[in-house]
């Protein structure tokens, strides 16, 4: 096991952590404010990847299309989020957990079938913009340049989320809603509108992740379920409702997977669950979460 290989695996782990963070940040934000686990959250991620594939595929040769796709896909997905919130989600916030699960599970299936109708079941690969393709030398090994881009975007998203929540009135409102939505309404905030905004931001985050990840994966049906499980594990490890927790959870999961690949490659995927079991055994409410209020 040489140092170069270790470095490459750790960097790969951090790449995974990057997009997992973005997806679970959205999921945990929505849960924090509205107390709903959205099973269809991964669908937003998959749609963004498909939209990027569709836009880039059409504009073969025009490298600028990749950047256009990267900008447009998350916005389309955010609009999907708004529509979903207004038509379905806002009706189930006060319902029991089982109803919420069934409703969002149904949404998951509907989104999956609609995607299949639009884009079919074939695998698509996406070519990133030329600036981002190619390899970088890391301790004598080559490592894709694009992975650094993914990590960079995740850091930017993380900082933006932090600024939003700490420095803006919208962010304070979101944090206040996590604590006491009723009181927030009584102090003059339109909580219904706030919830639509929060859900839209959540979908946007999943959309950014899906768009950015498109060149790294085979864009195909099933992306939604795969990311959902991992993002959920990340959110649970970090503590549902905590954005910082999602960041830490994503890094833990990414690094555990990297260690798994280095150590026992055939069992690498089991490391995801081992990470979760270890954390939850010590802190059932997650690293930065709080015990149920």
Partner 1 sequence: MMLDVREIHTYYGQSYILQGVSLTVGEGEVVTLLGRNGAGKTTTLRSVMGLTPARRGHVVLEGREITHRPTYAISRLGIAFVPSGRRIFSDLTVRQNLELAAHDGVAGEAVWTIERVHKVFPKLAELDSRRAGFLSGGEQQMLKLGRALVANPKLLLLDEPTEGLAPAVVGQLGEWLQLLKDEGMSMLLCEQNALFALRLASRGYILEKGRIQHEAPAAELRDSPEVRTYLGV
CB of 192 to partner 1, least distance (A): 7
> In this complex, which beta carbon is closest to partner 1, that of residue 71 or of residue 183?
183
Q: Are 271 and 260 in contact (CB under 8 A)?
A: yes
CB of 182 to partner 1, least distance (A): 6
Six-digit token pair at 215? Answer: 């060149």
Binding partner 1 (rule: CB under 8 A), the pick from 110, 183, 270, 277 is 183
- CA–CA separation, 195 vs 161, rounded Å? 16
- CA–CA separation, 148 vs 242, rounded Å? 25
How many other C-beta atoms lie within 10 A of the C-beta of residue 51? Answer: 25
Q: Is 176 one of the binding residues for partner 1 (CB under 8 A)? A: yes
CB of 88 to partner 1, least distance (A): 20
Binding partner 1 (rule: CB under 8 A), the pick from 60, 117, 137, 187 is 187
- CA–CA separation, 188 vs 164, rounded Å? 20
> Residues 6 or more apart from 234 whose CB is under 8 A from it?
20, 21, 23, 24, 246, 249, 250, 253
For residue 118, CA distances in Å to 71, 132, 189, 270 come to 21, 28, 39, 34
CB of 173 to partner 1, least distance (A): 6
> In this complex, which beta carbon is closest to partner 1, that of residue 168 or of residue 269?
168
> In this complex, which beta carbon is closest to partner 1, that of residue 178 or of residue 279?
178
Q: Is 191 one of the binding residues for partner 1 (CB under 8 A)? A: yes
Residue 93, SS3?
coil
What is the footprint of partner 1 within residues 66-85 (CB under 8 A)?
Answer: none
- CA–CA separation, 280 vs 150, rounded Å? 28
> In this complex, which beta carbon is closest to partner 1, that of residue 108 or of residue 195?
195
Pick the stretch among 62-70, 148-156, 167-175, 227-235 that binds partner 1 (CB under 8 A). 167-175
What is the footprint of partner 1 within residues 192-221 (CB under 8 A)?
Answer: 192
- CA–CA separation, 115 vs 206, rounded Å? 16
Pick the stretch among 59-67, 147-155, 190-198, 248-256 that binds partner 1 (CB under 8 A). 190-198
Q: Is 240 one of the binding residues for partner 1 (CB under 8 A)? A: no
- CA–CA separation, 240 vs 246, rounded Å? 8
Pick the stretch among 17-25, 65-73, 90-98, 188-196 that binds partner 1 (CB under 8 A). 188-196
CB of 19 to partner 1, least distance (A): 28
Q: Is 292 one of the binding residues for partner 1 (CB under 8 A)? A: no
> Residues 6 or more apart from 108 whose CB is under 8 A from it?
39, 40, 42, 43, 224, 225, 228
- CA–CA separation, 155 vs 135, rounded Å? 21
CB of 60 to partner 1, least distance (A): 50
> In this complex, which beta carbon is closest to partner 1, that of residue 188 or of residue 265?
188
Q: CA 281, 284, 289: angle at the middle one, nearest 5?
A: 135
Pick the stretch among 60-68, 142-150, 187-195, 265-273 that binds partner 1 (CB under 8 A). 187-195
Q: How many residues bind partner 1 (CB under 8 A)?
A: 19
Residues lying near partner 1 in the complex (CB under 8 A) are found at: 169, 172-173, 175-176, 178-180, 182-192
């Amino acid at each position: 096991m040489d140092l170069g290989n270790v470095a490459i695996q750790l960097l790969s782990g951090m790449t995974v952590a990057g997009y997992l963070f973005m997806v679970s940040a959205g999921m945990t934000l929505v849960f924090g404010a509205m107390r709903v686990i959205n099973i269809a959250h991964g669908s937003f991620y998959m749609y963004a990847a498909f939209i990027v594939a569709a836009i880039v595929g059409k504009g073969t040769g025009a490298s600028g299309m990749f950047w256009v796709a990267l900008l447009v896909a998350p916005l389309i997905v955010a609009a999907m989020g708004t529509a979903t919130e207004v038509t379905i989600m806002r009706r189930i916030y006060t319902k029991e957990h089982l109803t919420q699960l069934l409703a969002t599970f149904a949404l998951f299936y509907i989104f999956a079938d609609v995607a299949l109708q639009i884009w079919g079941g074939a695998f698509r690969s996406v070519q990133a913009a030329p600036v981002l393709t190619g390899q970088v030398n890391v301790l004598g090994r080559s490592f894709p340049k694009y992975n650094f881009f993914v990590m960079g975007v995740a850091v930017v998203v993380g900082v933006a989320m932090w600024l939003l929540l700490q420095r803006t009135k919208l962010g304070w409102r979101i944090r206040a809603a996590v604590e006491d939505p009723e009181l927030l309404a009584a102090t003059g905030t339109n909580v219904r509108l706030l919830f639509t905004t929060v859900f839209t931001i959540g979908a946007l985050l999943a959309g950014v992740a899906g768009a950015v990840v498109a060149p790294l994966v085979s864009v195909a049906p099933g992306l939604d379920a795969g990311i959902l499980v991992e993002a959920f594990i990340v959110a649970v490890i970090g503590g549902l409702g905590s954005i910082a927790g999602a960041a830490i959870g994503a890094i833990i999961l990414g690094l555990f997977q990297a260690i798994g690949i280095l150590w026992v490659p055939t069992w690498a995927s089991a490391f995801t669950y081992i990470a979760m079991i270890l954390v939850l055994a010590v802190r059932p409410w997650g690293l930065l979460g709080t015990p149920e209020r």
